Amino acid sequence: MSEAGTLAVLEAARASARAAIEAFGAEHLRHTESCGQVILHVAPPLAKQVLAWLQADPAHRFDYLTDVTAVEYRDPERPLEVVYQLRSLERRVDLRVKVPLDPEGTLQVETVTDLWAGAEWLEREVWDMFGVRFRGHGDLRRILMWQTYDEGHPLRKSFPLRGHRSRAEQTRQALAANPEAHYTLEEISIHEAYQELPPDMQERLRRRMEAGS
């Protein structure tokens, strides 16, 4: 991009960040930059409000959610951050919103699935990989790891690269596991059909649910 174009985009993102700080107060919001990209840090209680405002306000119109992810730093003093990459498709402006959470505390933020439908799987992935709970998400299941996976959340820094258990133990458990236990009946629910199933199939589904829960 031409230098003037890059500068104009950067200025527009700065203006949005400054407007958000003005609207919600400098004690909860902060604006930094890295590599020519604008980052808006928002305190967790305000996160949902600020995101909704950025999406709806006609002067900003961040209508496109590029990505939701999280970062945990190697420095244990630094907070774990939930990261939203926003974009205004009309104005061609990008803005990154970060919500810091205490890695030792309960990792919880409000869901944005009601603002952007695209957040549905992205938030599930952050839950799966980091253990951040999104309040109000209708279907917060693991997405990349399987349903019965119980070793924790792989992208946390406290999670060893090869997992908590030895390879031998992992293999033993994998072979002993009930492969049908990964999905619950609710997940693929047809409740009325359940009563009409033959007894042996009912029994199998019931056992599967017990094993899976």
Partner 1 sequence: MTPRTVEFDVRTPAVDSSGRLVQAPLGVARRASEHVAEDFGADHMLINIGPQHPATHGVLRLVVELEGETVRRVIPHIGYLHSGFEKLGEYRQYNQIIPLTDRTDYLAPMANNIALAMAVEALMGIEVTERCRLLRVIAMELSRIISHLVWAGTTGIDLGAFTPFLWMFQERERVYNLQEAWTGARLTTSVARVGGMMADIPEGWEAGLAEFLRTFPATLREVDAMFTRNAIWIGRTQGVGVISAEDAVNWSLSGPMLRASGVPYDVRKDRPYLGYDEFDFDVPVGEHGDIYDRYRVRLEEMSQSVRILEQALARLEPGPINVSDPRVILPPKSRAMSDMEAMIFHFKQVMEGIRPPAGEVYMGVENPKGELGYYMVSDGTAKPVRWRIRPPSFLNLSALPRLCEGALLSDVIAINASVDIVMGEIDR
Among positions 99, 122, 132, 140, the unique one binding partner 1 when judged by CB under 8 A: 122
Using the rule CB under 8 A, give the single segment among 14-22, 104-112, 172-180, 187-195 that binds partner 1. Answer: 187-195
- The least distance separating partner 1 from the CB of residue 9, rounded to whole angstroms, comes to 8
Measure Cα distances from 98 to 45, 117, 171 in Å: 12, 19, 38
Q: How many helices (H) and strands (E) does the chain have?
A: 6, 7
Q: Does 94 bind partner 1 (CB under 8 A)?
A: yes
Residue with tokens 């609207």: 23
Burial zone of 30 (CB within 10 Å; 0-12 exposed, 13-18 middle, 19+ buried):
middle
Is residue 193 near partner 1 by the rule CB under 8 A? Answer: yes
CB atoms within 10 A of CB 190: 9
Nearer to partner 1, 194 or 203 (CB): 194
Q: How many CA atoms lie within 13 A of 44 on its CB side?
A: 18
123 forms part of the interface with partner 1 (CB under 8 A)? no
In this complex, which beta carbon is closest to partner 1, that of residue 67 or of residue 203? 67
Helix (H, G, I), strand (E, B) or coil at 14: helix
Residue 64 touches partner 1, criterion: CB under 8 A: yes
Give the orientation angle of helix 3-24 with respect to helix 47-56, to 10 degrees. 130
Query: Which one among 13, 17, 51, 65 touches partner 1, defined by CB under 8 A?
Result: 65
Binds partner 1 (CB under 8 A): choice among 8, 170, 183, 212: 183
Q: How far is the CB of 25 from partner 1 (least distance, A)?
A: 25
Backbone dihedral region for residue 25 (phi beyond 0: left; psi -120 to 50: alpha; all else: beta): left
The verdict on 63 binding partner 1 (CB under 8 A) reads yes
Which stretch, 14-22, 45-53, 139-147, 168-176, contacts partner 1 (CB under 8 A)? 139-147
For residue 34, report the phi and psi dihedrals to the nearest 5 degrees. Answer: -145, 130
In the complex, which residues of this chain contact partner 1 (CB under 8 A)? 1-2, 9, 34-35, 37, 39, 63-67, 69, 71-75, 83, 85, 89, 92, 94, 96, 116-122, 125, 129, 142-146, 154-155, 159, 161, 183, 187-188, 190, 192-193
